[in-house]
Structure 1
Amino acid sequence: MSTPAAYNIPNLLTYGRILAVPLIVLCFFVEGRLQSSDFARWTAFWLFAAASITDYLDGYLARIWNQTSNIGRMLDPIADKLLVASILLLMAADRTIAGWTIWAAIIILCREILVSGLREYLAALKVSVPVTRIAKWKTAIQMVAIAMLLVGPAIDNNPPESEMTGLVTGAGIAMLWAAALITMYTGYDYFRAGIKHVIDE
């Protein structure tokens, strides 16, 4: 008897990515309040790394095993956005992201919401907007930036006053800005491709 589509391996990986979201947040609230010990950050980092790997694996396995499904197509982008949005908000709450860098996070979050809305609208019109190569690069840079921001403070201050102080977190912030700039371009690219269908309607 074949496995129902909802329980095939690609979809189970997607469910795992969604489950990783509250687990990562929980790492920062193990004492009942927001705190970011080195242990919490390393645990959150490895959970995020595993979740990021499933982001690649679920689509790859679905294609090579011919196990694509409607629930997988629906949940995959939702899982990605939940993962990114929750960690950006978490990093803002504990001030890993602060000051002007908050704008980089806002740009990324706004783009994700706007493009999701556009895709949903165009899907109702049976119009597909393919993911571009530069959008895939944006996602890769964004994921690396988030990983560095999660674990950066745990590395930068061990030992205190070392030459590494601030280096990993600073690199993560720089990459987050790079992702935000690419995000603005890809967001414009998607809207340019989709807006004619909106206007035609």
Structure 2
Amino acid sequence: MKWNLPNILTVLRLAAAPGVVVMFLYFNRPLADWFALTLFIVAALTDWVDGYLARAWKQESKFGAMLDPIADKAMVVIALIVITGFSGMTPWILLPATVIIFREIFVSGLREFLGDTAGTLKVTTLAKWKTTAQMVAIAVLFAKGAFEHYLIDRSLGMTPEMQQAILDGQIEDELGLRWLSMGWDACWYGGTALLWIAAFLTLITGIDYLRKAMPHLREA
């Protein structure tokens, strides 16, 4: 193992993965949502930074190449489990999350089976877009959780009719319910759409990886 800065950032990103769950165990919402969002964004940024530094400083190593995808997968899988939980197991989140998690486990198992041969199967540009779409979708959905909590908290004691009247502009919006509702809707629809796009890219790249691995599997 080479303990250079890129590898240290990768290890920190891996350690941050379970931190997303810890935020919801030890902090109340919406603080937990904001802390989890911040932690996830910082960890996602290190994914780009450690790769850039490793190439720029010529500090690429087998250790970093092995650990980097593990850290990415841990961040994504754990975050998706948390988001699926606080989203009420809605199919709009559960189905793409299942596709993403299944692919990550399948490809990890395939890499393990291929051993050193897996290093010859280079990461494609589409796979990088897949990772980006996953990270952005998860970040947006974490923000949605915060907007949701604020909206519910500020509308406590209101009848559904009163809430709708405020949102329709018939009653003065003293608590900012309208912009909270717009933030909630934007994050929900935007995050869900991005998650489905990520799931589609995940499926395509998984099939592509299997196709490239088939000649090696036939020889096994």
Select which of 201, 207, 213 maps to 1:188.
207
CA contact (8 A) 1:122 1:128 kept: no
TM-score, normalisation: structure 2: 0.80
Report the structure, 1 or 2, having the larger helix content. 2
Matched residues, number: 193
CA–CA distance in structure 2, aligned partners of residues 40 and 145 of structure 1: 18
CA–CA distance in structure 1, aligned partners of residues 21 and 115 of structure 2: 32
TM-score, normalisation: structure 1: 0.87
If you compute each CA radius of gyration, which structure gives the higher value, 1 or 2? Answer: 2
Q: CA deviation at 1:120?
A: 2.6
| Mapping 1:1-201, distance limit 5 Å | 6-30=2-26, 37-95=29-87, 98-125=90-117, 128-155=120-147, 157-158=150-151, 159-162=176-179, 163-164=181-182, 165-201=184-220
CA RMSD of aligned residues (A): 1.9
SS in 2 for 1:82: helix
CA–CA distance in structure 1, aligned partners of residues 88 and 189 of structure 2: 10
Go from structure 1 to structure 2 and tell me whether the alpha carbon gap of 1:45 and 1:97 turns closer, same or farther (over 3 Å shift).
farther
Go from structure 1 to structure 2 and tell me whether the alpha carbon gap of 1:19 and 1:183 turns closer, same or farther (over 3 Å shift).
same
Percent sequence identity over aligned pairs: 41
Q: CA deviation at 1:27?
A: 1.1
CA deviation profile, 1:38-96 (whole Å, cap 9, x unmatched)? 22111111111110011111111112112122221221111111100101011112226
Specify the code of the residue in structure 1 equivalent to 2:189: G
Go from structure 1 to structure 2 and tell me whether the alpha carbon gap of 1:148 and 1:126 turns closer, same or farther (over 3 Å shift).
closer
CA–CA distance in structure 2, aligned partners of residues 65 and 30 of structure 1: 39
